[in-house]
Structure 1
């Protein structure tokens, strides 16, 4: 069969896809109206997981599961925004890893609200100024994010979903690597690149920032400064990537939590988090267990 005929077949398939997607959209809007009447949340991470797992189980190739999952996720996020455009608050500014995690979970169509610190995220969700918040909770190299755990002690917000994001740290700058006298980044990112920095920029001044994106902002204003941040931050703030993947561990992941005012629907593969505090004395943890 010629290329022209094959493309003709693809065009027919594409037309059918559009028709089916719109039929699905009609059903989604019907469900949205029912949810609105019953006061239910539009977002359901449990239902999303069930849909993705079921469709992946039907996949016989040649499209790999990883690519198919990304397509399904994008479609589901589009339908979620069709029901209602969600407002998502995250640790800003734009292009932080928390921002990337939020986009990974809610897609490009949601409204994203950057704030300066983790307590602000909790406050905005608690007051109803945002539907959900995304907060970092644990890194595979550096451990837990204590600010997030501390906030849960005094908050009634619920954990609605988790997002696991592979973290790739790059060295960004306007000048050359050999001219770098200062490196900006978030304390967690600095800690995760400590060995590389000691070996390659031992004389550079290390400056902590509130986020990796803020680090990129600051580095964009100085010729002899660099930032440890993401590839997205490099594009956003007009920086060159001087060195790729400077993280000390090749398996560097951060776990983020989606927080909201209501519990998510059960998926059948749910996790339970228990947070408690104890007095600082010998054997206290043993007694709790």
Structure 2
């Protein structure tokens, strides 16, 4: 009886799988038709629409009444949408490599696995690949919940004319790994951010070990694969990719460590359901300059999500402010605030308006 009951349940699952597959095929057919309409349109239409994708995923989560978690059902639809978009136009996405970085994880979480990833050695190269149209979009880290804003990415935003088109957050768990954990560890490789995020743990467990910063954690993992007496701090994904042995897990000093990544591209994103706008501002050297910067946001009832000071590249004792606010740059209250601020500061650059991360 139990066997027959199990057999019946499996038969129902097989039947549902067939229906789901047919519905996905129908969706793919519609995506192909959308691509044809866009290609035939006389006006230039972007194939990838961040605000549309955020809207679809938000609706998926709102509709969810199943046993599946909101995040899990949204990730399933994320992959369906990614595969369908690839039928319209395969996207090439630049990320900080090599394979196994948190940046790659962020890129795949945001765009799905239907894209063509482009491995870059530095954040500078990611910006270059997007600027020269070798990639439609790039993904770079912008801030960490433990360490704050990431200066390298801010420098690139300041010196390059690209837009922020989206954001994605990744929970960061660091693992110490090496080719043979029975060996003595004489050197540890990691990105400087990872070394900072694991500072206390490293000081307690390896106070006399040499710490060597590298371009990415995954690069460090790849290096120690063939280097004795060397370890790397990297992700669980990198551990598996490079076939290393784990010495210790979750060695970050702060539990719940999260890194926020931004998507950079050339297109401006239309208004969506729930937007954020990022700005770079250089204030004047005069009394009340910071007050003049903040007052228009208060007067227009705009919530400020981020305010970070950062040195201007190449100019001693000069600083810029990186600001995130609620709303789209085309909202009336945001336009009014920006208009008033522009007349009171030395420079104001709108980096982009984009959907607040859904996943």
Q: Report the TM range for the smaller structure's normalisation.
A: over 0.9
CA contact (8 A) 1:135 1:257 kept: yes
Identify the residue that residue 48 of structure 2 maps to in structure 1.
43
Indicate whether 1:34 and 2:37 are aligned: yes
Inter-partner Cα distance in structure 2 for 1:194 and 1:178: 22
Shift of 1:264: 2.2
- Structure 2: stretches of 5+ with no match in the other structure: 295-359
Q: 165-174 or 264-273, which moves further after superposition?
A: 264-273
**Contact 1:177–1:242 under 8 Å retained in 2:** no
- d(CA) in 2 for partners of 1:61, 1:140: 32
Which of 140, 144, 147 aligns to 1:142? It is 147
Segment of structure 1 superposing worse, 233-242 or 172-181: 172-181
- The structure whose RCO (Cα within 8 Å, separation 6+) is larger is 1
1:184 to 182, 186, 189: 189
CA positional deviation for 1:201: 0.8
- Deviation digits for residues 119-174 of structure 1 (CA, Å, limit 9, x no counterpart): 21112111111110001110111111111112222322111100111111000112
Instruction: Mark the runs of 5 or more structure 1 residues left unpaired by the alignment.
Output: none
Q: How does 1:130-209 map to 2 (within 5 A)?
A: 130-176=135-181, 179-209=184-214
Residues 1:110 and 2:115 are matched in the alignment: yes
Q: Tell me, in whole angstroms, the C-alpha distance in 2 between the residues paired with 1:282 and 1:184.
A: 45
Out of 25, 30, 55, the position equivalent to 2:28 is 25
CA deviations on 1:171-230 (whole Å, 9 max, x unpaired) are 011222771111100000000000000111111111110110111122112221110001
| Aligned with 1:257 (options 244, 262, 275) | 262
Q: Deviations over 1:4-52 (max 9, x none)?
A: 1221111111111111111111111111122233422211221112111
Alpha-carbon contact 2:183-2:229 (below 8 Å) kept:
no
SS of equivalent residue, structure 1 residue 176: coil
1:280 deviates by: 6.5
Match of 1:3 among 2, 6, 10: 6
Tell me whether 1:15 sits opposite 2:25 in the alignment. no
How far apart are 1:235 and its partner, in Å? 1.4
| Structure with more of its chain in strand, by fraction | 2
The correspondence of residues 231-250 of structure 1 with structure 2, limited to 5 A, is 231-250=236-255
Paired position in structure 1 for 2:234: 229
Matches within 5 A, 1:263-282: 263-278=268-283
Contact persistence 2:61–2:71 (CA under 8 A) = no
Find the structure with the greater CA-based Rg.
2
Q: How many residues of Structure 1 are paired with residues of Structure 2 in the alignment? A: 289
**Structure 1: 4+ residue segments shifted above 4 A:** 279-284
Q: Is the 8 A contact 2:181 2:245 kept in 1?
A: no
Q: State the match for 1:97 in structure 2.
A: 102
SS of aligned partner of 1:250: coil
Q: Structure 1 length normalisation: TM-score?
A: 0.94
Is 31-40 or 99-108 further displaced after alignment? 31-40
Q: Which residue of 2 aligns with 1:60?
A: 65
CA contact (8 A) 1:47 1:265 kept: no
Which one is further off, 55-64 or 16-25? 55-64
Rounded to whole Å, the distance in 1 between the matches of 2:245 and 2:219 is 16
